[in-house]
Amino acid sequence: MKWLLVLSSVLVALSSAEKDNACYSKTVNECKFQDNNENLNDCNALFSGFLKNVVELQKYANHQVEKSFEYLLLAANFGTYVKNRPGFEKQFRALSDKSWENGIKLIKHITKRGGVHDFAANSTYKTEKKPLLGFNEMQSLALALDYEKTLAKEAHHIHQKNAHAQHTDYDPEVAHFIEEEFLEYQAGTVRKLSGYTNDLKKLLKEYSSEYSKKETGDSTLALYLFDEYLAKQ
Amino acid sequence: MKPIFIAILVICAAGSSYGKLRCDVGSSNVATEWLDMTAGCIDKVRHQIQTEINASMMYLAMAAHFSQDTVNRPGFAEFFFHSASEEREHAMKLIEYLLMRGEFKTSADYAAVGELMQVNVPVLPPLVSGVAALEQALKAETFVTKSIKDVIETCERDNDKNDYHLVDYLTAEFLDEQYKGQRDLAGKISTLQKMMKTESSAALGEFLFDKQLL
């Protein structure tokens, strides 16, 4: 009788990795026959379409961690005594901290859903590394805006993959997680950075003599004041 | 209506095209006599940044391991996530130190540091247990401590100059934390080993210890 039960439980396990009672039936057998089974894989947290798209979350987590170190370097660029823009430094440092926090958040969520994080998963959304030094204030803000948009687009991509109705990979929980933890905040960051960029563009505009009959070379002062403003944000 | 609108747009565009963006305001000209770190010492500090980042990634991988459903050690996971962030902060502190000393100003400085801020894929030995992970952590911390002492030794006599301030900073801020951290890890390993002495107490010992870490 025992072999029949074992055989049937194996068949059950084979028929579907995600059988609704996989954990229960396996455990019942193990308790009954006191099997020496170290394998706990049947009692995992996996369900729904999560495993189909987990690689997207892994890529995103790694991308966030990498971005956090790029932002750190960008912040350092404005912390030099030559550039000396504490306001800009503070903003880029905040972006770095946020990306780091997001990376950890994603790893936690992957494991929350029964996944394993793969540190080698490489995001296709990754941009090539730029030689950040020598980047002036305007360039850096523009770059950060593009970076944040790329990160936001990747979040939208993950959401779309998980939330698409009638999809076999459907996993509303992941979609909700992305919505709750990323989408709204990212829209805010993108808007904030685009606002800064446009403000700074206006401030750095110099008018040629035929327009104002005078050189208005006050970019330097504008940058100083804008940096002070950023330091208070 | 439409042509008028377009005409207005064209006029506006023409008007604003007079303004040119001047984004580069040129550089300042600050004397550099106050910069007194030696090249060898700077190089050591820069490499230490990468060492800290590597440690940070290693802890992140350990945290990810203990977060898994089939491992389920939330205490260990939290402990290592915290360690990962701490190591990242060490890297930032070193960058801030170089910025403070003014030894981070040219594109060459920047490129050198940038090159030493690589996010490498962490490679972990298979973590069979909580004790193994703590032992791995202690090993890593011992390596970092040795590496900091190496920076100190170099900066004490590179080019026959003693960088008193950096040496003091590393001793007071970094080594202090290292030794306290190592003592903490050693204590944890000791307790956990004792809790898991017998085959039968091992599972319960690790379970209870994990909850203590939360």
Query: Degrees (nearest 5) of the Cα angle B210, B212, B213?
Result: 70
Q: Which CATH number applies to A50-231? A: 1.20.1260.10
The top-level CATH class assigned to B38-213 is mainly alpha
- Helix (H), strand (E) at residue B149: helix B130-157
Say how far apart CA B156 and CA B181 lie, in whole Å: 25
Question: Of the candidates B170, B155, B184, B149, which has an alpha carbon nearest to the alpha carbon of residue B93?
Answer: B170
Q: Is A139 annotated as a binding residue?
A: no
Best residue in A46, A67, A111, A214 for a mutation probing chain B (most B CBs within 10 Å): A111
Q: Decide if A233 touches B, using CB distance below 8 A.
A: no
Asked if A20 has any chain B CB less than 8 Å from its own CB, the reply is no
B161 touches chain A (CB under 8 A): no
**SS3 readout for chain A:** CHHHHHHHHHHHHHHCCCCCCHHHHHHHHHHHHCCCCCCCHHHCCCCCCHHHHHHHHHHHHHHHHHHHHHHHHHHHHCCCCCCCCHHHHHHHHHHHHHHHHHHHHHHHHHHHCCCCCCCCCCCCCCCCCCCCCCCCHHHHHHHHHHHHHHHHHHHHHHHHHHHCCCCCCCCHHHHHHHHHHHHHHHHHHHHHHHHHHHHHHHHCEEECHHHHCCCCCCHHHHHHHHHHHHHCC
Q: Encode chain B (214 residues) as per-residue pLDDT tens digits.
A: 555 555 554 444 444 445 678 888 877 888 999 999 999 999 999 999 999 999 999 999 999 999 999 999 999 999 999 999 999 999 999 999 999 999 887 777 878 888 878 888 998 888 779 999 999 999 999 999 999 999 999 999 999 999 999 999 999 999 999 999 999 999 999 999 999 988 888 889 999 999 999 9
- The phi and psi torsions of B106 (rounded to 5 degrees) equal -90, 165
The residue in chain A having the minimum alpha-carbon distance to the alpha carbon of residue B109 is: A133
- Chain A interface, best mutation among B76, B99, B101, by max A CB count within 10 A: B99
- Please indicate if any CB of chain B lies within 8 Å of the CB of A69: yes
Alpha carbon of A134: minimum distance to chain B alpha carbons (Å): 7
Q: Are the C-beta atoms of A61 and A110 separated by less than 8 Å?
A: yes
**ipTM reported for the complex, 2 dp:** 0.88
- What ranges do the domains of chain A cover? 2-43, 50-231
Query: What stretches in chain A show pLDDT beneath 50?
Result: 1, 5-17
pLDDT value, residue B163: 97
Predicted local distance difference test score (pLDDT) of residue A130: 73
| A200: closest chain B residue by CA | B23
Give the pLDDT confidence score for residue B3 in this predicted structure.
58
pLDDT at position A8, please? 47
What's the pLDDT at A15? 43
Residue A163's contacts (CB-CB under 8 Å, 6 or more residues apart) are A170, A171, A172, A175
A142 touches chain B (CB under 8 A): no
To the nearest whole angstrom, how far is the Cα of A132 from the nearest Cα of chain B?
Answer: 8
pLDDT, residue B15, reads 43
pLDDT of residue A42: 77
Interface A:B, Cβ pairs < 8 A: 128
Is B135 assigned to a binding site?
no
- A79: nearest Cα among A131, A127, A140: A140
At A64-119, the pLDDT tens digits run 999 999 999 999 999 999 999 999 999 999 999 999 999 999 999 999 999 999 99
